[in-house]
Amino acid sequence: MGSPTYDYGGETVVVTGGSSGIGRAMALRYGEADATVVVADVREDPKDVSESVPTHELVEERGGEARFVETDVSDPDEVESVVAAARELGGVDVMVNNAGLFVDGDFVDISPEEFDRIFAVNARGVFFGTQAAANDMVERDEPGCVLNTASISSNLAQHGQVQYDATKGAVRMITRGAALELAERGIRVNAVAPGQIATEFVDGLTEQMEEDTRTDGFLKSIPLGRPGHAEDVAGAALFLTSEDAEYVTGELLHVDGGWQIC
């Protein structure tokens, strides 16, 4: 199969939740494609047990330009601060709303505090991240792209995940609604929907997923026969924010090894 080459030279890309996991893989790929990358996260150091160098430093070690901005996406003011930092670098060309939180538990036991916390990060963070980036693009009269990280949970209910599934359903509709409203301003809004991705989004998940693949421990099979990796999602992200996808908006692209089709 061919290997695509992307050129994001002269563009500034913001990646929330960019210190670890899928966000880290996205930030590194954008850096490799010559973008200036703003890594926005509540923590600078990667959560991944096998990594030690902060994402923005790794981008720079590889010859790119990057900046870290400590950010809690549940606070719209902090999201605005990230966009302001990107403005100093020329303005937001691509906004990747990737930061997310996972809270599981039986439906009857979830507290209002847990509910509010997960919605504040997963849904409100995406809504105001999209809004802040769009306002920057409109003020500069520059078209741009927003990419949101949704999930197979955007369309699928799973045991013990009502609160999480609800947030990812919200991400799906924020993506579609914003795409509709922003199209006339030249702003495209899409989302990736990862499936079973081996990251440290949940502590110890990577090792457990690799074991489940060997022992058929998943709730159902993955047609491609393996869990996904963060780099799989990063490749889809770069496509959706590239000129190759300039006629694509409001799309939810599943990156799940075919999990949702069977």
Count of CB atoms situated within 10 Å of the CB of 251 = 16
In one-letter notation, the amino acid at residue 115 is F
Rounded Cα distance between 138 and 169, Å, is: 27
Rounded Cα distance between 252 and 259, Å, is: 15
Of 6, 8, 30, 164, which one is the catalytic site residue?
A: 164
Rounded Cα distance between 12 and 34, Å, is: 9
Q: How far is CA 165 from the centre of its chain?
A: 16
Rounded Cα distance between 145 and 42, Å, is: 23
Q: Is 164 a catalytic residue?
A: yes
Rounded Cα distance between 220 and 218, Å, is: 5
| Among candidate residues 189, 192, 70, 193, the one with its CA nearest the CA of residue 130 | 189
Rounded Cα distance between 108 and 110, Å, is: 6
Count of CB atoms situated within 10 Å of the CB of 13 = 31
Rounded Cα distance between 173 and 159, Å, is: 22
In one-letter notation, the amino acid at residue 212 is D
SS3 168: helix
Q: Which residues are catalytic?
A: 164
